[in-house]
Amino acid sequence: MLQLPIFIAQRLAKDKYQQTGKQEKSPLLRLSLIAVVLSLSVMLISTAIIVGFKKEVSRFAYSQTGHLNLHEPNLSWLSNSSYTYLTPTLCQELQKIEHCQAVYPIIRDMALLKTEDNFLGIHIYGVPENFDLSFYSQRMTEGYFPTFSEADSVKKAMVLPDKVAQTMNCKIGDKLKFYFIKGEDMNSAIQLRTYTLVGTYQSVGLDQLPALCSLGSLQKLKKLPPDYYSMAMVMLEDRAYSNDYINNVLELSRAQADIFQGTKFDIQKGEDILIDLFYWLDSLDINVYLILSLMIIICIFSMLTGLIIIVLDKRQEIGILKALGIRNLDLRLGVTLLASRLMLKGVAIANLIALAFIFAQEHFQFIKLKAEHYYMDAVPVRFEWSYWLWLNISSIVLIMLVMLLSSSLLAHIKPSEVIKEE
């Protein structure tokens, strides 16, 4: 059934006889193939970069707030003057809720880091032993990350953002002096504590990143009763589960009120706390849609133009085939097969190019960025199956629809006219 359309597709794909007597593929088809490859590879690479960039910046944001943040009602999550009562039992029950990965109680404070030549105010997080340090450890620039437990060889260990360490000229192993305000106002007594610098992590362009120390050291400093914390960071499998988690917490508070022991707290989403940052990230989607739209238009236009020119160039052959009794349906099917083969070849090459780029950038980071402007020092990439399949399938479907419509041009070719031209 398809032998005739396949023969027609092969004939249309060949250029006229050259002086050598050999037939070659039409240069118009090569140009169309190149257009498909470039357009689709640019779409795939652009999407991988945008998704990677959003994921990386989101990781920074959630490393500060958690996907959800539990803190004292009616106060800012940055408040250092109030504390929430969170028992180990309550934290365990909150962590058992579906889609929750961990609940980390945190004590947050401000301190003045002073050296012989300089001084600087800095945020400090007191973190528990089980705190997820993956975001920080992957950005390690010098030293090491302690476990912030009694097992650490260095007591009162401190990890600083490298920007702070460079500004203050701090070296690994230095004894750092931190001045904490004991009360809520600047006239309160000042407490001096000494910490040992054991590591630094990359923070260029990220001014909000805190220093990290053990939870116990800040508890002793602030003389807090057991189980009182500045906030708790709730880490979920994905931020899409935030609303479900909040609803489950409300149900838990009604069903097992004794676990809360009268504790009240506000629950805020990370994207509501750092609203400007996430609004900016969401606005990047507009750029993605614009790039994808332009690339699809270019791809379709190139394919359409190439095939139309080929059909017009071969109109005499098509006229002869029609005069011999070949149906329009077979001719259209032949053109569709030609377009399909060309398009699938282009899609395969584009996917290989995009995958090679993503692999190379992820492992070698050969395209660099200015960290002070982009929150990172190299272009991030992330491979997502859902986006990948959607782009490939939608591109194939759109191109095929346009090709089917353009093949109707064959019906307007009249054998009597084109043979007379010959």
pLDDT digits (tens, 9 = 90+) for 379-404: 999 998 988 998 899 888 888 887 77
The pLDDT score that the predictor gives to residue 18 is 44
- 115-120 long-range Cβ contacts below 8 angstroms, 24+ apart: 115/168, 115/169, 115/170, 115/176, 115/177, 117/169, 118/167, 118/168, 118/169, 120/164, 120/167, 120/168
CA distance 195 to 174: 8
Residue 34 has pLDDT above 60, yes or no: yes
Q: Which of helix, strand or coil describes residue 150?
A: coil
CB 312 within 8 Å of CB 28: no
Q: What is the pLDDT of residues 58-83, one digit of tens each?
A: 888 898 889 999 988 877 777 777 88
Pairing label, strands 211-214, 119-127: parallel
Residue 213 confidence (pLDDT): 94
In this predicted structure, which of 118-122, 259-263, 378-382 has the lowest mean pLDDT?
Answer: 259-263
Lowest mean pLDDT among 24-28, 146-150, 322-326, 403-407: 24-28
DSSP 2-57: -HHHHHHHHHHHBPPP-TTS---B-HHHHHHHHHHHHHHHHHHHHHHHHHHHHHHH
Q: What is the mean pLDDT of the segment spanning 15-31? A: 57
268-291: pLDDT as tens digits: 999 998 888 888 888 888 887 888
Question: In which band, very low, low, confident or very high, does the pLDDT at 422 lie, cut at 50, 70 and 90?
Answer: low
pLDDT of residue 421: 55
Task: Please report, for residues 17, 148, 317, 319, 326, the alpha-carbon distance to residue 420 in angstroms, rounded to integers and kept in the order given.
Answer: 22, 90, 12, 10, 19
The phi and psi torsions of 29 (rounded to 5 degrees) equal -70, -40
Of the ranges 9-23, 113-127, 272-286, which is most confident?
113-127
pTM: 0.78
